[in-house]
Amino acid sequence: MGLAVTLVAVAVYSGYTVVQLRSLRRLQTQTIDVNRADSLLLLRIQNDFNSLSLAMRDMLDASEPYPLTAWQGQFKRIRIDLDDALAREGNFRRRTEDQQRYLTSSVAQFWDAVDRMFALPPDEARAQIRLSLQARQAALTTVVARLLVQNYESEQQAAGQTEQIYAEVEQHLYFFLAAMLAVILAASLYLVRYNHRIFGQVAALSQRRSELAQQLISIQENTFRHISRELHDEFGQILTAIGAMLQRADRRAAALDPSLRGDLQEVREIVQATLEKVRALSQALHPVVLDDAGFEGALNLYIAGFEKQTGIEIRSEKNGPSRQVDRSVAIHLYRVLQEALNNVARHSKSNHAAVRVRFQPESVVLEVEDDGVGFGNIKASHGLGLTSMRERAELLNGSIEFIEPSGGGALVRLTVPVSAEEAHAPS
């Protein structure tokens, strides 16, 4: 709505400005420019009348050695220029019909009198100039002067109208700017309130998502723990019992039928291999070693098993004094280690990796680095493992970084804050 109001206001003000500019242009072209052009022609006419006045003064001067007919050519040139100026000035139609008729008839009578004057003897011609022509010329000069004054007044009036248009446009511009500021302020306040509400909803949803993720991970860990115990206790005991039974059967078969010992030995090896796989699976689902040996012991055992299974050489480093890590924190550190090393085995195409643990005064930092192809292959396959690691980092109020060093490879760095009790607890 704010955008719509703003656009409507801009459209209305733009239309108003266009109308005012057209009015100003029309005023300028139809009044000011015409007045100026007409005034120039009137000045030209007035100059011609002044030239006639000077010529008649010279004709009356007795000291002039020339006859009156010597000025006939000058009068003819002035008449041609005056007729042309009057014709041009008449096209502007700045005068009333009475003014036009009076000026036309007066000029015609003046030139009639001039023609008659040149036909008279010198003394009579000079008398005609004194009695008639000078008066007629003065009257025509007065008419032209009045027309010039009329044009000046019209131009002043047009200038006042122009100033008024500018003032109105400026005033409306201020009103428009004030209205736009008010609309922008109202829209901004609404957007701030709306965004605040949206951010509150997003924060609530994020909190709920975090709680749900924590519950899901907790359920997942409980499920893994239950399945691990079932595998270790139930299936492990069953397989152990089968192995013991096969051992007894092997001793009896040695007395009854020695040929069965080979078959029984093969079955015992299969049972033993299955038992080891079940124990490995149980350990992977829930590292019981975390409860027995702590985080560092579980980390060392997992790295040794990972090297044996994948053939990837792992360089392990530890910095800082060891400390007891809370089990709720250790399980997430262990899972991030698992996921990071699994990504090394699946995606990095590297035969070497490094695992570094730094025990700092207020945090524990776990780093897993390889010299492979980086995170490109993981991101291309949607990177669900990366998302899982981020969720676990958020649950621990920590931070996780996925870095591609300049020399190549990939680096996963998890930083987890620890409490004061954990920081001072012995390992």
Helices of type H across 230-259: 236-256
Report CA-CA distances (Å) from 269 to 45, 247, 272, 279.
133, 11, 5, 15
Taking the model in full, what pTM does it have?
Answer: 0.49
For residue 195, which phi and psi values (nearest 5 degrees)?
-65, -35
Domain termination site, one of 187, 214, 249: 187
Quick one: which of 334, 253, 340, 259 has its CA closest to 300? 334
Note the pLDDT of residue 253. 67
Residue type, 73: G
Of the residues 126, 156, 187, the one at which a domain ends: 187
Is 269 inside any structural domain?
no
Q: Is residue 274 part of a domain?
A: no
**Could you tell me if residue 207 is inside a domain?**
no
Q: Are residues 8 and 138 in the same domain?
A: yes
> Following CA atoms 76, 82, 86, 88 in sequence, which dihedral angle do they give, to the nearest 10 degrees?
100
Q: Return the residue matching tokens 């004194």.
A: 130
What CATH number is given to the structural domain containing 326? Answer: 3.30.565.10
Residues 175 and 313 occupy one common structural domain: no
DSSP calls for 53-64: HHHHHHHH-TT-
Does the residue 162 lie in any domain? yes
Q: pLDDT of 351-405, one tens digit each?
A: 889 999 998 888 899 999 998 887 765 554 445 678 888 888 888 888 999 888 8
Q: Give the structural domain span for 60.
A: 2-187
Query: Do 171 and 308 lie in a common domain?
Result: no
Is residue 256 a part of any domain in this protein?
Answer: no
Strand, coil or helix: what is 345? helix
Q: Which of 187, 202, 233 is the last residue of a domain?
A: 187
Length of the chain: 427
238 in a structural domain: no
> For position 81, what pLDDT does the model report?
92
- Own/partner long-range contacts of 20-26 (Cβ < 8 Å, ≥24 apart): 20/165, 20/168, 20/169, 23/165, 24/162, 24/165
293 and 181, same structural domain?
no
The pLDDT assigned to 357 comes to 92
* Number of domains the chain contains: 2
- Measured between alpha carbons, how far is 3 from 24 in angstroms, rounded to an integer? 31
Residue 200 lies in a domain: no
Beta pairing, strands 363-370 & 399-403: unpaired
Express each pLDDT in 285-324 by its tens digit.
767 667 777 888 888 888 888 888 888 999 988 888 887 8
Using an 8 Å Cβ cutoff, are 320 and 422 in contact?
no
What 3-state DSSP class applies to 367?
strand
The answer to whether 320 and 352 have CB atoms below 8 angstroms apart is no
Q: Quick one: pLDDT at residue 283?
A: 67
Q: Is residue 279 part of a domain?
A: no
CATH number for the domain including 24? 1.20.120
Max intra-chain CA distance, the chain: 182
What is the predicted pLDDT for the residue at 30? 63
pLDDT digit of tens for each residue in the chain (427 aa)? 767 777 787 788 778 777 777 777 776 666 677 778 888 888 988 899 899 889 888 888 767 677 888 888 888 999 999 889 888 887 776 667 777 788 888 888 989 988 888 888 888 888 888 888 888 889 888 988 888 888 788 778 877 777 787 788 778 778 878 887 887 888 888 889 999 999 999 988 877 877 777 777 778 777 877 777 777 667 767 777 787 777 777 777 666 666 666 777 777 778 778 877 777 777 667 676 677 778 888 888 888 888 888 889 999 888 888 878 887 788 888 888 888 888 888 888 888 899 999 988 888 999 999 988 877 655 544 456 788 888 888 888 889 998 888 878 889 999 998 764 444 444 4
Q: Which strand (E) or helix (H) includes residue 322?
A: none
Report which residue type is found at 154: S
As given in the structure block, the two tokens for residue 386 are 């990366």
